[in-house]
Amino acid sequence: MTTPPRARWLALLVPVAVLAATSCARADRPPPPEVRAGQPDRGAALIARYGCGSCHTIPGIDRADGLVGPPLTRFGARSYIAGALVNNADNLQHWIADPQAVEPGTAMPDLGVTPIDAQDIAAYLYTLD
Over residues 38-73, the pLDDT tens digits come to 999 999 999 999 999 999 999 999 999 999 999 999
Give me the mean pLDDT over the 77-87 stretch: 92
> What SS3 state is found at 85?
strand
- CA 20 to chain CA centroid, Å, is 23
What is the per-residue burial (b if ≥16 Cβ within 10 Å, else e) of 65-84? ebeebeebeebbeeeebbee
Q: For residues 16 and 33, what is the distance between their CA atoms, to the nearest angstrom?
A: 32
Among 79, 107, 83, 109, residue whose Cα is nearest residue 96:
109
- One DSSP character per residue, 42-77 reads HHHHHHHHHTGGGTSB-TTSTT-B--SS---TTGGG
Q: 5-47, pLDDT tens digit by residue?
A: 655 544 544 444 444 444 444 445 555 666 778 999 999 999 9
Where helices occur in the chain by DSSP H, the ranges are 5-24, 40-50, 89-97, 99-102, 115-125
Residue 120 scores a pLDDT above 70: yes
pTM of the model as a whole: 0.74
